[in-house]
Structure formats: C-alpha cells, structure tokens
Structure 1
C-alpha cells in the first residue's frame, strides 16, 4: 500500500481556495474594467445569476471586493475591488499573457496599452533589484521546477 503524503502547504494552494475558480477571477476582471453592477457582471462573464451571487458573497467575505448600496427601493448594490482585489489584476495580466502566447498566438482577443503608448507586455520582476523572475537556476521556484 502506498504511503500517503501530506499536500504541500503554500500560499498558491491557499489562494486557489479563494479565487481558483473561473467565475471569481472573471468577476475581478470585470470590476477592473469598470463594470460594477450585478447585471453587467452577469452579461460580461456569462455566469449564471446564482453562481455569480455565490462568488460575490465569497469574494466579499474574504475582502477581495466590497459591496455598496446604490438604490434603497428595491435594494441594489454595486461591487468594487479592495486593494487586495486590485492586486489580483497583476495575476490576470500574467494569465492573459500566457493565454495570448499559448492559446491565441495569431490573434489575441484583447490588447492593453501601457501609459507609455506601447502594447503592455507584463513581466514578473523582483521588487528589490528589478530583475526578471525567470526560469532556470535563479528561479524563485528552484532549479527542480525550472525545467520544461
């Protein structure tokens, strides 16, 4: 009988528990694009109303979004990203870059332009030295995970 090994404890696993489903990250995407109302988010994500309501509650409970009443009768709310939610946008940009490269290399569905005027090409860098976080011997994940 094979020995069971405890799962590796890490922040990636913990984060995926909170936002590791399709709908949560798409909610963050839509809020970052300025769509703050429930019906707008349903329209732009394609999520069913019950799934979206559950994701919004979860994201609010963990502090990624905040809800604000904008109409009292009937009660209507809009949703905004918190600072923690805005930080997830860096993850979305990196996911988009990967998708553009590996899923849509000939025709990326959306391109962002940086304030400098050029097409945005997000890169993960070290906050201390500014060097890129690259695969290989100097990978933050270690050489064992740096191989293809």
Structure 2
C-alpha cells in the first residue's frame, strides 16, 4: 500500500526547519553549555574546544534566530563583552536536549555512566523526557506513536 504522505510536499516541514537551526553538531553543544550556566564566549571556547570562528558563527545564528539573546557585561578595565542567555524560544530546547542526552546515555555512555544528568531544581530528582498524548495518556512504547498529516500539510505540485 502506497503511503498517503507521498502525495504531500515536505517544503513546509517544521522538523526540517528546526533542523536548520538545531541540526549542526555544535548548536546543541552550545545550548548544553548555556544550560550549564556557561554563557561567555571564551569560557565556552575553552570548555568545548569549538573553533573560534565556528563558535562565533553558531552564537550569531542562535541570536539571529531568537534562541539566545546577548547581554552586555564589562570586567573592570576591559571592553564591553556579551553573555549569551536563552530566550523563551531557547528554553523550549531543554526537552530536546534532555531527550538527546537520554538516547546518548542509553546507547553511548561508558561503563561509569552518563557524564551529566538533568535534575529538578526544586527537589533534585532526575528529569526525564516522556511522551504523553493530548488526552493525558502516557505513551508506554514508542511503537504506540504514529505520524499523520497535520493541518499545514499541502499537496505536492
């Protein structure tokens, strides 16, 4: 049976659009650092070893797309510099990072375990990404999820 999705365009696919921002390796690494509280260019560069120009480009793109905002600061006797802080749009990447980390922890962590965990600020318990439907049902198996055409689907020309 031929999937109906073949008749529809992927030109307005929001997954593809999101991956234009998030799909490059260093983007989620930068967001990991920002969520760790490492928000200054030089600190990020030293901690991650991201090449200077790559980090500069990645930060500029994240600011241009509204994921991060620049906040000026000045060390005594130095010129003004900027910290990079998440916007609401940037904070909405947190569940993505938690899900990617969970996948990496499951399949790629060493025998000593994951190098980082995410915890609830209020109680200290670990945070996990979980799927729930709009009716509130927890999804027990990823096989219980199917992809369907949404209201923005358009027929191929």
- TM-score band by shorter chain is 0.7 to 0.9
| Match of residue 58, structure 2, among 43, 52, 55 | 55
| Count of residue pairs brought into register by the alignment | 137
Shift of 1:140: 3.9
User: CA separation in 1, counterparts of 2:129 and 2:110?
Assistant: 16
Say whether the 8 Å CA contact 1:31–1:79 is kept in structure 2: yes
1:76 deviates by: 0.8
**Structure 2 gap segments, 5+ residues each:** 1-6, 149-157
**Cα contact 2:98–2:118 (8 A) shared by 1:** no
Q: Which has the higher contact order (CA 8 A, sep 6+)?
A: 2
- Ranges in structure 1 where 5+ consecutive residues have no aligned partner: 143-148
C-alpha RMSD of matched pairs (Å): 2.5
Cα offsets for 1:38-63 (capped at 9, x unmatched): 11111222201111001111110010
What TM-score does the superposition give when structure 2 sets the normalisation length?
Answer: 0.75
Structure 2 distance, partners of 1:70, 1:96, is 31
Cross-structure match for 2:39: 36
Deviation string for 1:77-122 (max 9, x for gaps)?
Answer: 1110000001101100000000000111632222233344433332
